[in-house]
Amino acid sequence: MAELLTVAEHRLPVKVLLADTSMAANFAFWADACGALGLRVEAAAQLEEAVGRALDHDGPVLVDVLVDPAEQPVPALAASA
């Protein structure tokens, strides 16, 4: 995650969405400590607001989304024509 420190140092408008299966680390806290905006999503209902805040923010953002490691991912469906 040293890259985020570099992004924060140069105030680049990079947005990172992290699917966090560790459930122990708080990457949002770490992002804040580096000078980026760190947002933590602990429930699906919080995701839309967090992504909106990330996109509205001028500087770098890390959105730490807690994901149950036992849950199977649902594949994205292709858009119909």
Distance of CA 9 to the CA centre of its chain: 18
Q: Are 57 and 12 spatial neighbours (Cβ–Cβ below 8 Å)?
A: no
* Confidence bin at 65 (pLDDT 50/70/90): very high
Q: Global pTM? A: 0.85
Q: What is the pLDDT of residues 71-80, one digit of tens each?
A: 877 777 776 6
Q: What is the pLDDT of residue 80?
A: 66
Tokens (6 digits) for 53: 């805040």
Stretch 30-58: mean pLDDT, rounded? 96
Return d(Cα 14, Cα 55) in angstroms, integer: 9
3-class DSSP state of 25? coil
Return d(Cα 72, Cα 5) in angstroms, integer: 31
